[in-house]
A and B are shown apart, each in its own frame.
Chain A
């Protein structure tokens, strides 16, 4: 659905995107993760048609996004920093969107009022940050977008509203095949909703896989060895730590392969545990000179 191919973008000599590649399948919820300054917001601004890439190609359903109203009409975006017209209320913003977006669904807008209990006639700028985010979701979901692009979407929402918003989006994906690209630092939350994940760093794609594939290709092994035993040499160990006699290693490889290799040395005890997305993020970036450092002050 969304295809980003070798996209390069420079700002005054600084390379924000350095040959970035992304492939977001239709109907998927794609989590875009990466450290601060990795280029997440930059690529989102390209996907909404705000920025024009220096080179490379960005297409949605095979068509370029930039200067393409028919493609942009399919997209609803909730950026990190929201924009509403000064002194506008939700009703006025709704009328504006309804006049511009061909698929804006007024009935759905009215129905969604139940989910977003906001005063439509109150100026949006007088809302709290979380309420403004709710207003943005209300309007975006009323557009019936084919593609929903979200930058730190639930930042500022309370836990109940977070669950509500995710629930609405997931039902859109299930019922309408909406494609969702979401950029967030809240990896625990992404893990619950995403089916695909892309990790970017320094404007390049590090990893792009389905979540199950990603988690199935890296494992945490806890084990205890005899003094005369040692780990098999063919394990791709990313990280190792030790508490007493219990040692923990992060290993790249399929569960079955790791299990077979560990079994071959018959340790006193071993257990293989799948990694959380947060752990995958930390250990994958560790290989890219972005490892977590245990610093004590």
Chain B
């Protein structure tokens, strides 16, 4: 007997269209409201909108707002199209139809996708209409808007369909979709938080796996504007390659979803996990995920409930949370509370063993993370952040910073436990006086870029006092030596540029007198050049300005007059031809400095102009 069925069933497709039109209508309505209508308003607000402004606006609306809409409506669409899998009645009805599963899958898949893409197309046409009615229709940029939106929709919709066929429960698809979309970022944050408790100094800078959290990665997508002579010369979408890659992955997801759908047992309707082989995976993921989430949460709520080190507390909390996560998963799978069977306890024991290996291993530095200090020769450049930041590729500086790290690690127990006075006494022979000796806490952050491009980051909490700073070879002494070197200060102040390369400068000098009177003044280009090329380098070489005072509050006193005359704050932005800026921000509190004397002289001789509010841009003569 011949059958009317084929790979794509028109009747099923039209039924989907009719049944779920409110969903499609909402998506289309929101797109129309946020794209053509807002563009029309934009034209009204800025009647003489330039082609570049328009391009920027159109592409940005797709790259940013469109991302959110595509994310939300793709998963809603997938749930609508595949919700028949979640009830035994509807699953029976659909699988009894004279259609192959391939035909059913393809029809359902395309029903959801066609309407998403169709809504994008209608909106793109409306954008063209608005553009045409307000002057000229820009086909290329509107087509780009359509491609961006459709790329997002293809990826997220396919991803959501994959989630939809993995489960048999309508309450699971959306949470699963959200968790998988943010999985890497969530796990990264949690692991970082736990590792920082277990490994002294552990720091984690980003991940190459960020692309596995698509919404986070896609937030970088935007518009690339190129400037010429201070004006926009071209506007393009920044991430065509990445978007195309995601769209291609979307196609793969769709294929994976089809393969699962084809083999899926319809009796799994109502099950949290519809694919049998994924049930143990779900238990393990919930166990480990529970350990990470619950461990952090419990530690946040009860940091001091378990005496001893934070490492002990987090370990116990992780074990408890793994138990809860694992058996919660089993309860969801079995749809029963009677899940405490011997075999499951054995599986949980394996998870506990992994957690203990992780926590104990990290705490005892089994993997050598804590004690790792790279060879100075293998480091290409280093950034030291303590009070301020210093980036250097000087081998001597790199070596000095590796020595700082080794010194910190040598006294790690003191820093970690907060027993700094004991460190002073036992290691430096300094008797700490609680009444007179102030202790200052600092975060020391070190970021090595190794020769191969790999990055190693560490972040330590250390303490300093004036007495330690005076001890040669101490941690405080070493840090002070590096951070207050002439090179470090010059780099912090952005010195060393050829002043003639600046096309325009913006300078603001704040003068605060002893009565607390506050003046804002501006410098001429010649005055600023004299400061930048002569006086500031001279003061830096003499160690009079730009230093970080680690053991006093001077650097925090910018707005408090602490001498007889002025507090001076200089903020300069100097712009080059290529629109890049060099900025200087400097607090002057040393009355012996040449800069201070020069500014005070200028003020007294009325040679700097007092202004209200921000200073104007001064174009060099």
Q: Give A residues with C-beta under 8 Å from B.
A: 11, 45, 48-52, 67, 69-70, 72-75, 77, 79, 81-83, 85-87, 95-96, 99-103
- Which segment of B94-102, B390-398, B606-614 sits at the interface? B94-102
Q: Are A83 and B101 in contact (CB under 8 A)?
A: no
Q: Are A11 and B1 in contact (CB under 8 A)?
A: no
Count, chain B residues at interface, CB 8 A: 30
User: Which residues in window 11-45 of B have CB below 8 A to A?
Assistant: 11-12, 14-15, 19
Give bound CA distance, A17 to B99, whole Å.
25
Contact of B98 among A52, A69, A87 (CB under 8 A): A69
Assuming the A-B contacts A81-B88, A100-B11, A102-B3, are A69 and B96 also in contact, with contact meaning beta carbons closer than 8 angstroms in the complex?
A: no
Q: Are B4 and A11 in contact (CB under 8 A)?
A: no
User: Which residues in window 251-290 of B have CB below 8 A to A?
Assistant: 265-267
Chain B residues near A81: list those with CB within 8 A.
Answer: 88-89
Give bound CA distance, A72 to B99, whole Å.
8
**What are 16 residue pairs bridging A and B, where the CB atoms are less than 8 Å apart in the complex?**
A48-B96, A49-B96, A69-B3, A69-B98, A72-B97, A72-B98, A72-B99, A74-B1, A99-B4, A99-B12, A99-B14, A100-B5, A100-B11, A100-B12, A100-B98, A102-B4
Contact of A52 among B1, B89, B265 (CB under 8 A): B265
- The reply to whether the CB of B93 lies closer than 8 angstroms to some CB of chain A is yes
Q: Chain B binding site: helix, strand, loop or mixed by DSSP?
A: helix
CB distance from B170 to the nearest CB of A (A): 13
4 smallest beta-carbon distances between A and B, as pairs: A99-B11, A73-B98, A83-B93, A72-B98
Closest to A82 in B: B89
Assuming the A-B contacts A81-B88, A100-B9, A102-B3, are A70 and B98 also in contact, with contact meaning beta carbons closer than 8 angstroms in the complex?
A: yes
Give bound CA distance, A100 to B10, whole Å.
9
Give bound CA distance, A96 to B100, whole Å.
17
Q: Are B88 and A11 in contact (CB under 8 A)?
A: no
CB distance from A89 to the nearest CB of B (A): 12
Q: Are B265 and A51 in contact (CB under 8 A)?
A: yes
Q: Are B93 and A51 in contact (CB under 8 A)?
A: no
Digitize B408-448: 1 where CB-to-A-CB distance is under 8 Å, 0 elsewhere: 00000000000000000000000000000000000000000
Q: Are A83 and B4 in contact (CB under 8 A)?
A: no
Give bound CA distance, A100 to B97, whole Å.
8
Known A52-B265, A100-B9; 9 more pairs at CB < 8 Å: A11-B267, A50-B266, A51-B266, A69-B99, A74-B1, A83-B87, A99-B11, A99-B14, A100-B11
Q: Are A77 and B265 in contact (CB under 8 A)?
A: no
Chain B residues near A45: list those with CB within 8 A.
Answer: 92, 266-267
Digitize B100-139: 1 where CB-to-A-CB distance is under 8 Å, 0 elsewhere: 1101000000000000000000000000000000000000
Chain A residues near B5: list those with CB within 8 A.
Answer: 69, 73, 100
Contact of A100 among B19, B88, B91, B99 (CB under 8 A): B99
Q: Are B265 and A96 in contact (CB under 8 A)?
A: no
Give bound CA distance, A277 to B5, whole Å.
41
CB distance from A102 to the nearest CB of B (A): 5
Assuming the A-B contacts A83-B89, A100-B5, A102-B3, are A50 and B96 also in contact, with contact meaning beta carbons closer than 8 angstroms in the complex?
A: yes
Give bound CA distance, A49 to B5, whole Å.
15
Chain A residues near B95: list those with CB within 8 A.
Answer: 48-50
Q: Are A96 and B15 in contact (CB under 8 A)?
A: yes
Give bound CA distance, A246 to B48, whole Å.
111
Give bound CA distance, A95 to B103, whole Å.
19
- The reply to whether the CB of B229 lies closer than 8 angstroms to some CB of chain A is no
CB distance from B460 to the nearest CB of A (A): 52
- The reply to whether the CB of B378 lies closer than 8 angstroms to some CB of chain A is no
Q: Are A50 and B4 in contact (CB under 8 A)?
A: no
- The reply to whether the CB of B90 lies closer than 8 angstroms to some CB of chain A is yes
Assuming the A-B contacts A51-B265, A102-B1, are A83 and B90 also in contact, with contact meaning beta carbons closer than 8 angstroms in the complex?
A: yes
Chain B residues near A85: list those with CB within 8 A.
Answer: 15, 19
Contact of B1 among A70, A83, A99 (CB under 8 A): A70
- The reply to whether the CB of B500 lies closer than 8 angstroms to some CB of chain A is no
Chain A residues near B12: list those with CB within 8 A.
Answer: 99-100
Give bound CA distance, A270 to B159, whole Å.
76
- The reply to whether the CB of B207 lies closer than 8 angstroms to some CB of chain A is no
Give bound CA distance, A48 to B5, whole Å.
16
Closest to B87 in A: A83
- The reply to whether the CB of B233 lies closer than 8 angstroms to some CB of chain A is no
- The reply to whether the CB of B2 lies closer than 8 angstroms to some CB of chain A is yes
Q: Are A51 and B98 in contact (CB under 8 A)?
A: no
Interface centre among A75, A82, A101 (most CB of B within 10 A): A101
CB distance from A97 to the nearest CB of B (A): 9
Give bound CA distance, A83 to B9, whole Å.
20
CB distance from B33 to the nearest CB of A (A): 27
Chain A residues near B4: list those with CB within 8 A.
Answer: 73, 99-102
Chain B residues near A49: list those with CB within 8 A.
Answer: 95-96
Give bound CA distance, A187 to B91, whole Å.
29
Digitize B137-173: 1 where CB-to-A-CB distance is under 8 Å, 0 elsewhere: 0000000000000000000000000000000000000
Q: Are B98 and A79 in contact (CB under 8 A)?
A: no
Closest to A103 in B: B1
Chain A residues near B92: list those with CB within 8 A.
Answer: 45, 48, 50, 79, 83
Q: Are B11 and A51 in contact (CB under 8 A)?
A: no
Chain B residues near A83: list those with CB within 8 A.
Answer: 87, 89-90, 92-93
Give bound CA distance, A77 to B92, whole Å.
10
Q: Are B11 and A96 in contact (CB under 8 A)?
A: yes
Give bound CA distance, A100 to B99, whole Å.
9
Chain A residues near B100: list those with CB within 8 A.
Answer: 67, 69
Chain A residues near B98: list those with CB within 8 A.
Answer: 69-70, 72-73, 100-102
